[in-house]
A and B are shown apart, each in its own frame.
Chain A
Amino acid sequence: MTIDYLLNKVLNVLKTLLLLVSLGLTLYVILFMYKRLDKSLVESVSVFLPYLVILILFMVNFIYRQKIVNDNFFYNIVCCLVFSLFIYCGIRAIADPFMISGIKQGFNINFDYYSDMIAPLQIMLYGLSAANIFLLLSKKKENSKLSEGVAQKIDVGSQKN
């Protein structure tokens, strides 16, 4: 077991945990925001759609043990960075005491700030989903590699004979 392997495993677990926490925070803020605006929650589908896409992709990566994604250090790092950013923004929207519009509105959440952040957050989620899909598409078949290796050995063996 190398350090790379351990680090990737830790980051892999961490990114899933961070995704769930950020999804929970977004759900909390959006629920209150739509309740305040008297809007139907069905209209918030566009906000949660990228979350759903990336969640499905993570589940596919996990179930089929796709190493090209799960063991990709850069992908894991970017995922952790993005989800940490989501959590940071969520916490700021709820707990930053210096944002005046939050005080003025009289709610516990600064909706002005969070609504400004929704679009960039969605772009990042779609970017991660697309990167995940392209990584899966770039995957080379392991069996073909194995068969190529075996074929080469047979070839070498036959030449010796």
Chain B
Amino acid sequence: MIDFLKQYCRIIAYSLMGLVFAFASFFLLINMYHQAEISKVYTISSSYRTSVIDDYLTSVQNIKDNLASINPSDYEGTLTSSQAQTAYQKLNTCVTALSNDTISSTFDKQQVNIVDVYYLRESYENEAVKNCLGSLSWFADASEKEIKNTFLLQNEKVLGLYINELAGKTNSLKSRLLNNSSFHFTTYISAITYDEVSGSFTEVVDAYSDVATLTEELSNFLKQEMEGAK
């Protein structure tokens, strides 16, 4: 009887060891896979550089050129002089935010990793959203600020909605990036077809491009407004 029980003890001991072995092997392998996955780098392709990054830089340059070509103190039109001055300053703040150090240093790199993407997204939130979109929201409150400009009054609702959309565009990306120390970063089903580093990078750059395009449009409007009313 005792021998029988001892044999059972041996079976249980080996079963436990087998389970622990399987469990430890699984954790070791998934840790190694996770480490390899999050340390991936994305090489910025020349086609992406010419099609998206160069477009963004051109937009920023156009805003700078537009702002350089206008002088709000000479303006006499539908906007009051203080409104013209404020609009000019808002766009100036925006262009400074859009050419921040983080985005410049990221675009200079040939390869980016997940940490670069995280810092780029942080700069989007701190610079593009807080400084730039925060300034642009001034244009979306035309009736509230008693701005008597037809273009701004007609577009304020759409402008407000678009600014809000751009402000929250990278929120889900933020939670995904902050969660990258969890294993489901790599094991959730869409990870099979979605490269987190390149996907996140293009998502932030697209958001930046959208903000730059909007700012460019508003700078074009201000330029036309000031040139037309001179």
Residue from A89, A101, A120, A131 within 8 A of B16 (CB atoms): A131
Residue of B nearest to A104 (CB): B178
Give the complex CA separation of A81 and B24 in angstroms: 7
A116 CB within 8 Å of chain B: yes
The contact size tier of chain B is 20 to 34
Give the complex CA separation of A78 and B27 in angstroms: 13
The contact size tier of chain A is 35 or more
User: Which residues 84-119 in A have Cβ within 8 Å of B in the complex?
Assistant: 84-85, 88-89, 92, 96-104, 110, 112-113, 116-117
Give the complex CA separation of A123 and B182 in angstroms: 19
Convert A118-161 into 0s and 1s, putting 1 for each residue whose CB lies closer than 8 angstroms to a CB of B: 00100110011011101101111000000000000000000000
**Interface of chain B: mostly helix, strand, loop or mixed:** helix
B181 CB within 8 Å of chain A: yes
Give the complex CA separation of A104 and B175 in angstroms: 12
Give the complex CA separation of A131 and B19 in angstroms: 10
B114 CB within 8 Å of chain A: yes
Q: Are B6 and A124 in contact (CB under 8 A)?
A: no
Residue of A nearest to B8 (CB): A138
Convert B6-18 into 0s and 1s, putting 1 for each residue whose CB lies closer than 8 angstroms to a CB of A: 1101101110110
With A81-B25, A82-B24, A138-B7 in contact, is A101–B14 under 8 Å at CB? no
Interface contacts (Cβ under 8 Å), in number, total 103
Q: Are B27 and A74 in contact (CB under 8 A)?
A: no
Residue from B6, B7, B28, B183 within 8 A of A85 (CB atoms): B28
Q: Are B20 and A82 in contact (CB under 8 A)?
A: yes
Give the complex CA separation of A59 and B21 in angstroms: 22
Shortest CB distance A39–B (Å): 21
Residue from A74, A102, A103, A120 within 8 A of B17 (CB atoms): A74
Q: Are A88 and B31 in contact (CB under 8 A)?
A: yes
- List, in ascending order, chain A residues with CB within 8 A of B182's CB: 112-113, 116
- List, in ascending order, chain A residues with CB within 8 A of B178's CB: 100-101, 104
- List, in ascending order, chain B residues with CB within 8 A of A101's CB: 178-181
Residues of B within 8 A of A (CB): 3, 6-7, 9-10, 12-14, 16-17, 19-21, 23-25, 27-28, 31, 35, 38-39, 113-115, 118, 177-183
